[in-house]
């Protein structure tokens, strides 16, 4: 189970990172953008690390409070949840 959680989250974070990058490129070129709700949804369902990395690296969505405050809060919540899942899994392995 832990294997699927790890690789699922890895894939989700890579996808989130790439979509933030695509959105930044489209913003620079004045083209159609990825909806903010899509970016936020990806961060919410587990892609907050990828979102935060992309925000820092590309300086994208950093002035919007929902992103600059919301994404780090999501990350803390997700890390706590992941810690709980791992600890619970380890307890049942004994």
Q: Determine the Cα–Cα distance for residues 27 and 94; give it in Å rounded to an integer.
A: 51
Each residue's pLDDT tens digit, 17-68: 999 999 999 999 999 999 999 999 999 999 999 999 999 999 999 999 999 9
Q: Which residues contact 12 (CB under 8 A, 6 or more apart)?
A: 42, 45, 46, 47, 50
Task: Name the pLDDT band for 72 (thresholds 50, 70, 90).
Answer: very high
Residue 2 has pLDDT above 80, yes or no: no
Instruction: Identify the pLDDT of residue 78.
Output: 93
- CA 39 from chain center: how many Å? 8
């Amino acid at each position: 189970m832990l294997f699927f959680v790890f690789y699922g989250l890895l894939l989700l974070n890579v996808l989130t990172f790439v979509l933030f990058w695509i959105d930044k490129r489209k913003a620079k070129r004045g083209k159609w953008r990825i909806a903010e709700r899509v970016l936020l949804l990806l961060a919410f369902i587990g892609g907050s690390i990828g979102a935060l990395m992309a925000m820092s690296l590309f300086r994208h969505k950093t002035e919007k409070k929902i992103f600059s405050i919301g994404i780090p809060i999501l990350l803390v919540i997700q890390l706590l949840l992941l810690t709980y899942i791992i600890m619970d899994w380890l307890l049942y392995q004994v």
